[in-house]
Chain A
Amino acid sequence: MVEIGSGLVAIGAGLAIGLSGLAAGWAEKDIGSAAVGAIAENPKNFGRSLVMTVIPETIVIFGLVIAFLLMGKI
């Protein structure tokens, strides 16, 4: 039987990843669509657009780190 406390920690870890993933996706969608527009106008913008688009991905990484730290507590 798993303790309730451990279960809550696991839920917390899941929330950390899931919510930060949602947040990153939400932030990235606008940048991504703008980036596609910029690339369509001038393909040379690809590199810079890629950089701009992936900036919010760091949020998920934070979520992931927190999740691993929480999992360490179970």
Chain B
Amino acid sequence: MLLPEKMSKILIVGSKDKLQETTEVLYNLALVHPIDFSEEEGLSLGSPFPSASDASQKLLKLRALEKDLEIEEANLAKKVPVGEVESKMTSTIDDLNAEVSGVVETKNQTQQRLAALENDKRLLVPLSSIPLDLDLYSGYDNIAVFTGAVRSDPEAALSAAVKKFEIFKSKNADFVAVFVAKPEAAEAQRVLVQNGYSEVVVPKGKGTPEQLIKNIELEEGEVKKALADAEDKITRLRSENRAMILASEEHLSIEVEKAEFPLRIATTKNAFAVDAWVPTKQVENVKKELDSKLGKSFHFEVLEVKSRKEVEHQGSEVEHEADVGTETPVKMGEKKPISMFNGFTELISTPKYNEIDPTNVIAITFPLFFGLMVGDVGYGTIFIALGYIGLKKVTTDDWRTISTMLFFGGIWSTIFGLFLFGEAFGMPFAPHGDELTWSSLLGTALPSSFDLGGISTPFGIYNKLTDVNKLLYLTVWIGIFHLFLGFFLGMFNIAMRHGIKHAIMEKFGWVLVLLGMAILLPVIIANLSNIMNIQFSSMAVIIPLVLIIIGMAISIMGEGVLSILELPGLLSNILSYTRLAAIGVSKAGLALAFNMIAIEMLAPMGGIGVVFGIVIFIVGHLAVLMLAIISAGIHGIRLHYVELFQKFYTGGGTKYSPLRVVRKYTSER
């Protein structure tokens, strides 16, 4: 269907003691989109079921466990049955909590100890070049000790300035320990500073630094082993319990969500009321299911089957329009392959309830545009393969959307590449002039047409580089048809909301203008070299001008004088479609350049030239391939978003999200 599915507003009223049962039924149905209740007189929000607080507490513990064990979302092959989760969850959480907190604490302590040892070692390393015990550096009454790094050897300068001193140096004299009588300490320090002295603090302790470092390294080994043990244990715990923890978390999240459902609905002291949207087709099913599960102990009522027409209230038309279109949830289509393009519509926004779902248009014309811009058998087949692999393997929505584009775009690229352009990897099959072709490369004449039962379809009608003007002309026509489509869809939307009269006033004027421009186009193209040659008295010019003037008059009546300003906009919309040709041409130019370098310049050199030629060929075409994805993808979708959507699409609807349970790690029963 072009329009979003018809929705009905329902009301379910029951006594409060049945609320939990009702919640279960609604979640199992997966069809009911509840309307969040905001407080009114006499009614209040419900309070969560008692099970919520217990489940929330367990969830808190579980998430702490997940953090400690570094468990992340994953694709697990095996699902845990709900029964198993329920029976084992509590004991698993408690046992694991005790075990994990012990291991994590050990891990943290060993890490801290390791850091402390590293620090001690760092201080000792420079001292190890001097063969003195650590306790010899301190504890003197009359001797000052300087230890530290120096830039140049201070011994000569010291012996000149200080009478009594003793110096110990490292091998290359960049570290010194100087012992001086205290009265001369200031003088010695001055000399040392002149030699670039910077002090190093001597740690307390006994024995030579070398001995101490050895001891530290011994301890480090032990601590590292303990750390590795702790980490092994964590890894073991993680792999043993991952499935159960993820399953429990999922189970508890579902429990909490269900238990908090009363927060979304209206209640009184003894009763509850659920306002909700249900697809009109499913209303009977919902009622039947409730009947069979709950007996007769509730009241069910269809409040309205939502019409798509905007009801005009006096003075508040605008406000009300937002109401109808945006409040009713919109269920996006689910029929493949069109639904595979839903992501492109969602990127802008969800359609409103009373407008055509633009996915239907995107699904048809976007791959066509993509294919026209790429238009190459070589790239096309690669895109089909990439898209196919993507659709098989990838699970995230964004990448699936891109894979969809590549797959369907690739199909059209191959078709256009075969029949419209007749080329693969930027090289035509058969010569149009004297350029490089697959025929000349392979040394055989490839068939120039495809014969089927007497009908001959040529391989390649246009050459991208020599028929540029024809391609530009062709794409302008594509643009005009695409915009016609947009205006007609816009008329349909407005007719549905406000009636035919509004639709004609708002959009039909523009249809006439566009028609006028379309008729005028061949005249302008024919006289492009000299615009002055156009015969203004001929019918081919008068008819379109009259159409444009009538169209403008209708638009001005419908939308006001300012709509004149949109006329150049329409012209630029049409010209904007020439990018379909421009991108194809620029890509063909790039590919041609790489082919010429690789095949005509490098390959004939033989030997190393062939190797370089192959490298250039592969790298070059990979680059073109990437550019093709980016430019063809973005420009193709942009033509829809900017040029087409302006003509009919508003968006801003609410997405249909019924109460339901989505299980990834657990399975029911």
Q: Which residues in A have some Cβ–Cβ distance to B below 8 Å?
A: 46-48, 50-51, 54-55, 57-58, 61-62, 64-65, 68-69, 71-73
Contact = CB atoms under 8 A, between A and B. Distances in A.
B529 A73 contact: yes
B582 interface: yes
Most buried by A among B349, B529, B642: B642
B634 interface: yes
A65 B472 contact: yes
Interface size bucket, B side?
A: 20 to 34
- 6 tightest A-B CB contacts, nearest first: A47-B347, A47-B348, A51-B641, A54-B638, A64-B582, A61-B579
A68 B529 CA distance: 12
Contact of B578 (A47, A54, A65, A72): A65
14 contacts: A47-B641, A48-B348, A48-B349, A50-B634, A51-B348, A57-B638, A61-B576, A61-B582, A62-B572, A65-B575, A65-B582, A68-B469, A69-B469, A73-B529
A61 B575 contact: yes
B528 interface: yes
A43 B219 CA distance: 51
Contacts of A47: 346-349, 641
Contact of B638 (A46, A48, A51, A71): A51
A50 B640 CA distance: 12
Nearest to A47: B347
A43 to B, nearest CB: 10
Contacts of B346: 47
B349 A61 contact: no
Given A51-B642, A65-B582, 13 more contacts: A47-B346, A47-B348, A47-B349, A48-B348, A50-B634, A51-B641, A54-B634, A54-B635, A58-B576, A61-B578, A61-B579, A62-B572, A64-B582
A58 B572 contact: yes
Interface of B: 346-349, 468-469, 472, 528-529, 572, 575-576, 578-579, 582, 634-635, 637-638, 641-642
A46 B343 CA distance: 12
A55 B576 CA distance: 10
A26 to B, nearest CB: 18
Contacts of B578: 61, 64-65
B647 to A, nearest CB: 14
A50 B472 contact: no
A65 B348 CA distance: 29
Contacts of A57: 579, 635, 638
Contacts of B468: 68, 71
Contacts of A62: 572, 575
A72 B469 contact: yes
A71 B582 CA distance: 14
B472 A68 contact: yes
A58 B469 contact: no
A65 B637 CA distance: 21
Contact of A50 (B349, B575, B641): B641
Nearest to B398: A46
A47 to B, nearest CB: 3
B553 to A, nearest CB: 28
A23 to B, nearest CB: 14
A48 B651 CA distance: 11
A51 to B, nearest CB: 4
B347 A46 contact: yes
Given A47-B641, A50-B638, A51-B641, A58 B472 contact: no
Nearest to B529: A73
Contact of A58 (B528, B575, B634): B575
Contacts of B582: 61, 64-65
Nearest to B346: A47
Nearest to B576: A58
B278 to A, nearest CB: 26
Contacts of A72: 469
A58 B579 CA distance: 8
